[in-house]
Amino acid sequence: MLDFGNINIYVFDSAEEIGVKAAMLLSETIKENHKSNVCFATGGSPVGMYKELIKLYNEKAVDFSGIRAFNLDEYYPIQKSNSQSYDYFMKDNLFNHINIDFNNQFIPNGETKDVDKECKDYDKLIEENGGIDFQILGIGTNGHIGFNEPSKSFKANTHLVELAESTINANSRFFDSMEEVPKYGITMGIKSIMMSKRIILIAYGENKAEAIYKAFFEDVTPEMPASILQFHRNVTVLLDKGAAKLVEEKFKARNK
Ligand code: F6R
């Protein structure tokens, strides 16, 4: 582990090992508090973690029946039945395979006609439930967390966002054509993320190395949204060697 004060960085040989560690951290939290509020992410980064959580559940090593599940974001507009919706993703990759109560799965509604109300209601729901205990994050190559894209200011609350071109390009790998990739999303804001008790951020691949380096070793700026995590008191970053490339160089230089 590379220890940078409030930020612990673990470097693994493979994405599978990251998944095992991340699943272990969440299952420990759930064992300590059966009623944990967990905020999940979608995309490639947490898939290994979710596979491992399903394995642990099948081995009866973790019980999800008491947790409340929130999600960081959802495309807008999108039907839940669309196989690219984050609602569908969560069911397909995790929720349908574990014993989480269907009534305790909360994802911003990409079908809503009233986005403003949806955003306000989502923040209220998180707040009324006491905030997030365990927050799972990936990171965009542009440094976004959730769909909090690089911008002139940090947005505190859940909001509608126009996706950055780099995000649309990155997400196009899941769609048949560029036209089908949604251009907007609803995302939890920086406030709920920063108020969560514990954060784990997962990244693998050399294409994430620069974002990781800038997020944790350069200035805190809304142009690199993940950099705000430097101000959080309990962040664990799980990387493979590719994503850790620049961080490891920094660590070696520091300890010379
Ligand atoms: C997804 C999300 C995004 C992703 C990020 C990385 O719910 O919030 O911030 O975590 O775009 O995506 P992957 O993991 O596909 O590289």
48's tokens: 């290994």
Question: Which ligand 1 atom is the nearest neighbour of the CA of 138?
Answer: 10
- Centre of ligand 1 from the C-alpha of residue 202, in Å: 9
- pLDDT for the residue 6: 77
Nearest to 126 by CA among 106, 147, 109: 106
Residue nearest to atom 4 of ligand 1 (CA): 138
Domain range 2-254, its CATH number among 3.50.50.60, 3.30.1330.50, 3.40.50.300, 3.40.50.1360: 3.40.50.1360
Any idea which residues carry the catalytic annotation? 73, 142, 144, 149
Checking if the pLDDT of 163 tops 90, the result is: yes
Closest ligand 1 atom to the C-alpha of 46?
14
Q: From 42, 90, 137, give the residue whose CB has the most ligand 1 atoms within 8 Å, as the site to mutate.
A: 42
How close is the Cα of 171 to the center of ligand 1, in Å?
9
> Using 50, 70 and 90 to split pLDDT, how confident is the model at 149?
very high
2-16, 19-33, 131-145, 192-206: least confident range: 2-16
Mean pLDDT of 2-20: 90
DSSP 71: E
Pocket test residue of 139, 196, 204, 228 for ligand 1, highest count of atoms within 8 A of CB: 139
> Residues with Cβ < 8 Å from 18, sequence gap 6 or more?
12, 48, 49, 202, 204, 238, 239, 240
User: Which 3 state secondary structure label does DSSP give 211?
Assistant: helix
Ligand 1 center to residue 139 CA distance, Å? 6
